[in-house]
């Protein structure tokens, strides 16, 4: 019975176990919103689109720690001096979301593209995990 290659992509909450990298942030306010994502998979890999409005290229942090992919970004929209908020729907200027990758994904070859606040991540499958057609000889 073959195992179908459904890739597991799971979310962990922002308050999941702290990694060593976040130790220095533990005293700062690390509340963050989970950005909305679209995830789809095709034969060659997984595409992930994340809405990160207000995050410029230099405030985006994507890291893979073992099996965990973490996307983090800080909103850096310039505001004029003396701006008083009047109506605020987006209160937290930080996005963070983590995913667990499965072993058949090649985390070393992730391609990322950030344009107009949309992050486009392409995670290819390992070369050996891509579907292969087996030629059957009729003999």
Partner 1 sequence: MYETLWSFPGGVLGEFERLRRELDDVFGGSSGAPSSIRSAAPGAFPAINVGQTPNSVEVYVFAPGIDPAKVDVVIDRGVLTISGERASALPNVGVKGDAKTSVYNHERASGAFKRAISLPDDVDASHVQATYRDGVLNVSIARREEAQPKRITVQ
The residue (of 88 and 134) whose beta carbon lies closer to partner 1 is 88
Pick one of 22, 54, 126, 130: the residue that binds partner 1 (CB under 8 A).
54
Question: Footprint of partner 1 on residues 75-134 (CB under 8 A)?
Answer: 76-77, 79-91, 100, 115-118
The residue (of 2 and 137) whose beta carbon lies closer to partner 1 is 2
From residue 116, alpha-carbon distances to 44, 84, 98 in Å are: 26, 26, 21
Tokens of 76: 């850096």
The residue (of 41 and 106) whose beta carbon lies closer to partner 1 is 41
128-132 long-range CB contacts below 8 Å, 24 or more apart? 129/5, 129/104, 130/43, 130/44, 131/5, 131/43
- Residues binding partner 1: number (CB under 8 A): 43
In which region does residue 117 sit, left (phi positive, over 0), alpha (psi from -120 to 50) or beta (all else)? left
Chain residues in the site for partner 1 (CB under 8 A): 6, 8-13, 16, 36-43, 49, 51-56, 76-77, 79-91, 100, 115-118
């Amino acid at each position: 019975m073959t195992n179908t290659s459904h890739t597991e992509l799971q979310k962990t909450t922002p308050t999941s176990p702290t990694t060593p990298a976040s130790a220095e942030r533990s005293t700062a306010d690390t509340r963050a919103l989970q950005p909305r994502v679209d995830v789809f998979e095709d034969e060659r890999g997984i595409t992930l689109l994340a809405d990160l409005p207000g995050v410029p290229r230099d405030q985006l942090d994507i890291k893979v720690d073992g099996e965990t992919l973490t996307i983090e970004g800080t909103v850096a929209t310039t505001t004029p001096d003396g701006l008083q908020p009047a109506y605020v729907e987006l209160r937290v200027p930080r996005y963070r979301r983590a995913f667990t990758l499965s072993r058949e994904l090649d985390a070393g070859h992730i391609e990322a593209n950030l344009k107009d606040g949309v992050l486009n991540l392409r995670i290819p499958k390992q070369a050996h995990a891509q579907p292969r057609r087996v030629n059957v000889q009729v003999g």
